[in-house]
Structure 1
Amino acid sequence: MSDLQHTRVGIVGLGLMGGSLALALRGHVPYLLGVDRQPATRQAALRDGIVDEAVEALTPDAPPVDLLVLATPVRAILDTLTRLPALRPDGCAVLDLGSTKRAVVAAMSALPERFPAIGGHPMCGKETAGLAAAAADLYRGQTFVLCPLPDAPPAAEQLARQLIAAIGARPVVLDAARHDATVAAVSHLPYLLAGALMRGAADERLWAISASGFRDTARLAGSDPRMMLDILLTNREAVLDALREAETELAAVRDALADGDEAALAEWLSAAQVAYAAYRRFKSGEHLLPGAQT
């Protein structure tokens, strides 16, 4: 497999993640193909020089690429992986940017050998979607999780690591099950909690006196519902586990408050504060998850 500087790259999905990747890869690869169903998106990507060519769909007649990056919602990624042998008969390396990994890695494992593949999940984003929100520095300094296939040859991971270095991200290797359990707790659950907060406070009379605490806590509720629907349904078991943990914590503080148990309530609040302080120290040192590899 060639080095990234000699690799023709195709990106399926030119939204926030795919568009940002294309912007970040300019100057690092000799050719970028964009694949997107929306005519306006393709026109903007060509007009702004984000890609060299743009097509509506991945077909056997589409321009050849050496690396295909799947940057669509997870269920669309799974559909593309199922059809990939017919869509790209000659094969190519495959990387995805999906937010859940177990189903994706399983689908990649079923591909023929001419498709060296690896699961990927850049841990970054915005609450706004679409090519207009894309930014060349979106990935810079951010964690980029890689989930290698069991017993897979190293070619796909080597190329993925070159891509990650080119866009300024930091690679972390996790197995797919560990990844999905982790992001359920630290990404998918926060989205649902923000959604619950926003649904319960959907009243302009409340917004008039809201401040930064409400704004910052509710921010994730602005995420694309279509994208989040795919994420939740393809990580259902892990998200349900995370919800049960959250329900246990909320029940504890509810009961302490209902009973007027000041000591229990103070302990709950203090434990949350201590955990948050530890989290801030952890992040400032950029530690890895236990068991993760760089």
Structure 2
Amino acid sequence: MADHASPRIDTSVAHPARRYDYLLGGKDNFEADRESARQIERVVPTARLTALENRAFLHRAVRFMAGNGIRQFLDIGTGIPTSPNTHEIAQRIAPAARIVYVDNDPLVLVHARALLTSTPQGKTSYIEGDLRQPGQILNDRELAATLDLSQPVGLLLVAVLHFIRDDDNPRATIDALIDALPADSIVVASHGTFEHMPAEQAAALTKVMEAQFRQRSGTEFRTLFDRPDLRLVEPGVQSVAQWWADEASQPRPAIEDVACNGLVARVVRANTEV
């Protein structure tokens, strides 16, 4: 259990990163985070399963990217470090892989600096930044010192886009990030959805989530990435529980029990092939 906090950490207000840590079985959270998670679980008893399946999707996606030649990773909205993390998976396959983690929670920063250690051949960095300000992330000096944006990058937007409301223009944020990536980069994203829930359950869950939270259907999620220079990897937009299901532990849960969709896409440019 977290027993101290910096002056910038308000322990009386639940934070998504710390609540996610609790749902994953972590200890770096406060009572407000745990109570928020319990409220969600009272409405959706499979909330913990959703968090675990989303995390497993991240693991499979990073292995996919590293196996397809990606040696640089930009993980935005990383959350409190939970092993294995992006750099651990990537560097098992490619020890020289370089990773930049981004989050806007100062508690995450504290733990990241202590725990996100790289292999000697690679590099792992952390920057404090907000997804709603992609320009600041892309222009950060630490990012420039770690990643070469002229070479393919694996961009991870896992379980973070549902905290970007429509009036914050998530499409503009996504476009700014993808515009900065060269051909052969790979984008991985997941997004909370209520589309498989009964209407009354979805309404009850909406009441206990932050005002910032914006669930989106699979179709709405897909629209955020509807660009001519992106090619979705099969099976396209799909429940994270069913993404490359043959590589996951068996049996697979029903999509009705996992309120999250995922996608993987390749970046293509003129005169390049998928």
What TM-score do the two structures reach when normalised by structure 2? 0.33
State the TM-score, normalized to the length of structure 1.
0.31
Larger Rg: 1
